Chain A
Amino acid sequence: MSTNKVIQVDGLTKMFGDFTAVNAITFDVKKGEIFGFLGANGAGKTTAMKMLIGISNPTSGKANVAGFDVFTNAEDIKKNIGYMSQKFALYDDLTVKENITFFGGIYGLSRSKIKEKSNALIEDLGLETVANQLVGSLPLGWKQKISFSVALLHDPKIVFLDEPTGGVDPITRRQFWEMIYKAANQGTTVFVTTHYMDEAEYCDRVSIMVNGKIEALDTPKNLKTQFKAANMNDVFLKLARG
């Protein structure tokens, strides 16, 4: 049972002084699942995610990610996860290839493995013509796709995506979700936050955070029935308005 659950969170809490950013959230994520992590701005999504990826210490509660405890084994978690932040986080002053080589190297891939991965990635994304261009000169949509591929470079068990499609056009968003599906099909668990409710529909299960608490968690279909809503947008509005 527990081997099937790659993320187990129990009463996870983060306080900043008197302010409770994340208030005792509890949920599980299954292997290979696409888990949508929704919530209004400031609901505590990013803070919660930062605890799960081991860059923010929880105040209390329990969390186990990829088989490791976030309190004691944060560095082991990092070997097994990929992360793509809200802020574009590749190096603008390095080329596509150099970025891939750098992050591959940081994750300890061998030179030959990096080369192989790099070629495959460039071919998959159709980046042959820009492989030696500085990343800074590419359009945002391309950057995001490269970012996602780089997050998957070391074949992580789980990939965390923090608003990966913010500010990109609908076509690119569509392509991006195709990439997410492909990764999920290959067994990678996808943990994704988004503000686009149509994207929420693509997820296997969705949680909705309001003021630091998870107020709803189920498949999009069940959520719509539960809240008697026509689409996820209505579900979200009903919850977020309280």
Chain B
Amino acid sequence: MKTILYIIQKEFKQIFRNKGMLPIIFVLPIIQLVILSNAATFEVQHIKFGYIDHDHTSTSRALVERFNASTYFDVLTDFPSEALANSAMLKGDVDVIVEIPHYFERDLQKEKRTNVGVTINAIDGAAAGVENVYLTQIVQRFNQQVKVNLLQASDLQVQPIQIETIPLFWYNETLNYKTFMVPGILVLLVTMITLFLSGMNIVREKEIGTLEQINVTPIKKSQFIIGKLFPFWVIGMGLLTIGLILARVVFNVPMVGSLVLMYFYTSIYILVVLGIGLFISNFTETQQQAMFIAWFFMVIFILMSGLFTPIESMPKWAQLLTEFNPIKYFVEVMRMVMLKGSSFMDILPQLLKTLLYAVVMNGLAVWSYKKTT
């Protein structure tokens, strides 16, 4: 026990003496949290909207006016021809083109139906999907208005029964993306910093030759590893604290659930990350190698965490893979506890899996650390 304290003391001294690392540990995460949380949103705004109006009637103008009134669309130009509109899209001057056909107004009144052509730049498929939804909503609302007008014009028309859905968004009533993103990005920061620090730390001692010196001492493997990792565990918990405060103060993200539960889960979660870091550093010879491998895992973990793309939309095999992604569990727990106020029993499945993960990873790490080669 005393031996462990000597190592912890040494590690903290080295961490706080390293003027290059300190800002990386504490300042960069804060900047990232602030920037990413503001930037990472799925809302698409300022869609560059162009249209080709072949009809030139009050009805066609009313439709365009609908888009004009929307905050999502910036109505740009009335293109005189399809060719011009297409070349504008090619140049990237316009994202969405709506083509209103000849006899739009007449068909609406006589045939009760007509079509509008819609072209969406779908290089970014996700954005295109969102744009399509916005557009459809606007057209639908326009439709209803037209129907009402038609009804007034001729009472012969029997109005079909309308079914309207009124969604209630629970746990994030206003669909505020920051509320959704901040907990997730906080997870990434805690994970990244602790993984990189622990992954590079022991490898660094290998590089400078001090690890050999340590291996010649009678120190026990477990003592050395606990002493080495504990400081990073503390730093991870510190980052969580900073992040939670920022979430509350800067982003106004509610903390519905129990803080104690949040800290309890995180304390176990960080063990998983530290285990992975240590495992990496056991199999690498230089900090560079460790960094590359850590990045490799980090990127996979992030993209498959359900933070940016819902796990439900992944193919079956990918969904299975995410079961091995610690970040996934942390993101889930963080969102559940912060936004839903989930209790201990609610997060028990995640907690148990994380605990198992921690035991396995640290077991592997201790096993693969060899004092004698």
Chain A interface (Cβ within 8 Å of chain B)?
Answer: 53-57, 74-76, 78-79, 81, 83, 85, 87-94, 98, 101-103, 105-108
Contact = CB atoms under 8 A, between A and B. Distances in A.
A107 B212 contact: no
B215 A93 contact: no
B209 interface: yes
Given A89-B210, A98-B13, A107-B217, 12 more contacts: A53-B216, A55-B215, A55-B216, A75-B371, A76-B218, A87-B209, A87-B212, A89-B209, A93-B13, A102-B10, A105-B3, A105-B7
7 contacts: A55-B216, A78-B218, A90-B213, A98-B13, A102-B7, A102-B10, A105-B2
B157 interface: no
A78 B3 contact: no
A57 B372 contact: yes
A144 to B, nearest CB: 13
A98 B372 contact: no
A13 to B, nearest CB: 16
Interface string B38-67: 000000000000000000000000000000
B372 A55 contact: yes
Which size bracket describes the interface of B in this complex? 20 to 34
Given A93-B17, A98-B13, A79 B209 contact: no
Interface string B214-234: 111111000000000000000
Interface of B: 2-3, 5-7, 9-10, 13-14, 17-18, 208-210, 212-219, 371-373
Contacts of A76: 218
Contact of A101 (B3, B6, B212): B6
A56 B216 CA distance: 10
Contacts of B212: 55, 85, 87, 89
Contact of B13 (A83, A87, A89, A94): A94
Nearest to B207: A87
B241 to A, nearest CB: 26
Given A56-B372, A92-B208, A108 B10 contact: no
User: What are the nearest 6 A-B pairs in CB distance?
Assistant: A105-B6, A87-B209, A89-B213, A83-B216, A78-B218, A79-B218
Contacts of B218: 75-76, 78-79, 107-108
A87 to B, nearest CB: 3
A90 B372 contact: no
A94 B209 contact: no
Given A57-B373, A94-B10, A81 B209 contact: no
A33 to B, nearest CB: 20
Given A89-B210, A108-B218, A55 B3 contact: no
A83 B216 CA distance: 7
Contacts of A107: 217-218
B14 A94 contact: yes
Contacts of A93: 13-14, 17-18
A74 B216 CA distance: 9
Nearest to A99: B10
A103 B3 CA distance: 10
A56 B6 CA distance: 26
Contact of B209 (A55, A78, A85, A98): A85
A91 B214 CA distance: 11
Given A57-B372, A105-B2, A105-B3, A91 B10 contact: yes
A195 to B, nearest CB: 19
A61 B209 CA distance: 28
Contacts of B209: 85, 87-89
A91 B17 CA distance: 12
A54 B5 CA distance: 25
Contacts of A74: 371-372
Contacts of B217: 78, 103, 106-107
A94 B2 CA distance: 19
Most buried by B among A78, A85, A92, A106: A106
Nearest to A81: B216
